[in-house]
Structure 1
Amino acid sequence: MRCVTRLRCGRCSVTLSSLVLSRRWKSPENSASGQHGEPNVAPGATVLPGVDLARRAVSPSQEFPATWSNDEPLPPSNPHVQWREHYSLDAEKPYYQNIKTMEVTWEIPEGFVTRFPGLYASNGYHVDARGAVSRSSSSATSAEGGVGPAVAKKSGPNALSLKKRLAAYGAGGLLWYLIIHNISLACVFICLYVFRIDLIGYACSYGFAVKHSDGVSVNDNKRPPFWKTFVICIVLNKILVPLHLLVTVTSAPCLVHRLEPIATSLFPKMRAFARSLVGRESAASTVAKG
């Protein structure tokens, strides 16, 4: 009986001591800053990483109780604690909301781990291996150099040209652009050579001052010259390059992932074939000179 009473007394004392320690830990004297799990620490004092992790795991911040990372609890200074990343379909770029102050801004917080690393890397920001974005010197000077909505639009992540947006899709995007470019060239050639469209008449109908003496008479029984028509088709197709880029960038998200394996195997073969042709020509020229 004495042993049982001693064990009970020991358990009660351990329970009381743990309760007293937890009360002391969460008391307002030990957390003068007003947040749980953050004791009174001098500004210059250093806290061991293990102690900091244990403190935040035992008593997390009540203001942001659900803010956790994959590996460990986030410190209060991390941008993920107060900022959330969203995407605007109207503006076609991400924006950020502060859940504490309800502030909404287009500028990414310093050190925020974004879901769009390629977008910010192509816009001049520095993105590390984790995806944390930091402003480089060029982007900082461009952001501070001007005032007004025009400058903000130029320095934002949406201010990407069509060529830069196409380059972000890699080899699959380049292959899809070449397909669209050649299809357009074939359509222009068929319209001019097979259907024999009167371009002079179309130019006059749209208000261009073209003299009739400068025009070439169209003979219905005779086709136009093949090579002259082909050169004209190439020139007209070069004029349509911005339209090709726009169509490629618009339709790339649906088709690039299917063309990527083909492009990664096709382009090295084409490069090796071109190098072999150049090597054969150089060898033949050296033999002829010798």
Structure 2
Amino acid sequence: MRCVMRLRCVRSAVVLSSLLWGQRWSSTWNSTPEKYGESAAASGATVLPGVDLARRAVSPNQEFPATWSEDEPLSPSNPRVCWREHYSLDAQKPYYQNIKTMEVTWDIPEGFVTRFPRLYASNGYHVDATGAVFRSSTASEPPANGTVGTTVAKEAGVKAVPLKQRLAAYGAGGLLWYLIVHNISLACVFTCLYVFRIDLIRLARSYGFDVKCSDEVAVSESKRPPFWKTFVLSIVLNKILVPLHLLLTVTSAPLLVHRLEPIATSLFPKIKAFARSFVGRGAAAGTTAKV
């Protein structure tokens, strides 16, 4: 009798478990994709930073767009859902990549919020307060002079990006190359003033400045000018040439920065550590002297 009762209990348990599994399978199968694939952001759950970045890089959507935005989730038509903005150092202009289709283009998507608003504003695009770029009528129409206007607009757009910002994109190697160019220019200016003793009055007249004969200063041919005065004057003149130094550095950086990068990454930390130790020794010496 007990065996029969146990058999009935086992059968009822098996039937009940099969019914439960069948109900769960059917509910999962019949559920809509939106409910089953509901994002963690919509449900209010906390999303780990690594998961957030992975979803933006692999499968971007409205809650996790490819380009981060403060007002997430975005609308389905927003270009930031699938597009990302990059900057080409070789072409010196931004380009755009679609994460889903892997399409790469130089043309900015309509309504994309750019990091270079001045560049597109100078090219004739309409940029709103948030930085979204829209093609205005002047940008879409071809110029009257053919391709010349397009070339001029592109050159103006490249010039709209500051030289300091373009130099900062090269990192420590670009900074080291700028310091080399700056100091070479200082040495050349000092050599011209101290060694070759250039006649500044005659040079000023050659550039159209009205300098009278009575303003001329008698210069002794056998005596050199004062060293420190010439050095300070060289520093001042070299500071005036800083925009030219930046232009020369940015122009020649693609050829030399990759070779100077390893030297810069090892040199700058050593200089920083030496400066800190020197300042620390000076402070300690001052404290000892006061005591």
Gaps of 5+ in 1: 1-43, 50-69, 99-103, 113-119, 125-134
The 5-angstrom pairing of residues 62-141 of structure 1 reads 92-94=92-94, 106-108=107-109, 123=116, 138-140=130-132
Q: Distance between the aligned counterparts of 1:244 and 1:217, measured in 2?
A: 33
Q: Call closer, same or farther: CA 1:233–1:261 in 2, change over 3 Å.
A: same
SS in 2 for 1:46: helix
Deviations 1:22-66 (CA, angstroms, capped at 9, x unpaired): xxxxxxxxxxxxxxxxxxxxxx963977xxxxxxxxxxxxxxxxx
Q: Distance between the aligned counterparts of 2:97 and 2:263, measured in 1?
A: 41
Q: Distance between the aligned counterparts of 2:77 and 2:173, measured in 1?
A: 40
The amino acid across from 1:191 in the alignment is C
SS in 1 for 2:160: coil
The 5-angstrom pairing of residues 184-199 of structure 1 reads 184-199=185-200
SS in 1 for 2:220: coil
Alpha-carbon offset, residue 276 of structure 1:
1.3
The amino acid across from 1:139 in the alignment is G
SS in 2 for 1:243: helix
Gaps of 5+ in 2: 1-31, 38-56, 62-75, 99-104, 118-126, 140-152
Aligned-residue sequence identity (percent) comes to: 65
Alpha-carbon offset, residue 173 of structure 1:
0.4
The answer for the alignment partner of 1:162 in structure 2 is: 163
Residue 31 (structure 2) pairs with residue 46 (structure 1): no
Q: Distance between the aligned counterparts of 2:243 and 2:95, measured in 1?
A: 28
- How many residues end up aligned between the 2 structures? 199
The answer for the alignment partner of 1:178 in structure 2 is: 179
Please state which structure has a larger fraction of its residues in helix: 2
Q: Call closer, same or farther: CA 1:90–1:274 in 2, change over 3 Å.
A: closer
Residue 238 (structure 2) pairs with residue 250 (structure 1): no
Q: Call closer, same or farther: CA 1:262–1:88 in 2, change over 3 Å.
A: closer
Q: Distance between the aligned counterparts of 1:157 and 1:214, measured in 2?
A: 44
SS in 2 for 1:217: coil
2:78–2:111 Cα contact (<8 Å) kept: no
Alpha-carbon offset, residue 200 of structure 1:
1.2
Q: Call closer, same or farther: CA 1:183–1:86 in 2, change over 3 Å.
A: closer
The answer for the alignment partner of 1:270 in structure 2 is: 271
The amino acid across from 1:279 in the alignment is G
Q: CA RMSD in A?
A: 4.8
The amino acid across from 1:163 in the alignment is K
Q: Distance between the aligned counterparts of 2:262 and 2:282, measured in 1?
A: 31
TM-score (norm 1): 0.54
Deviations 1:218-237 (CA, angstroms, capped at 9, x unpaired): 22211111111111111111
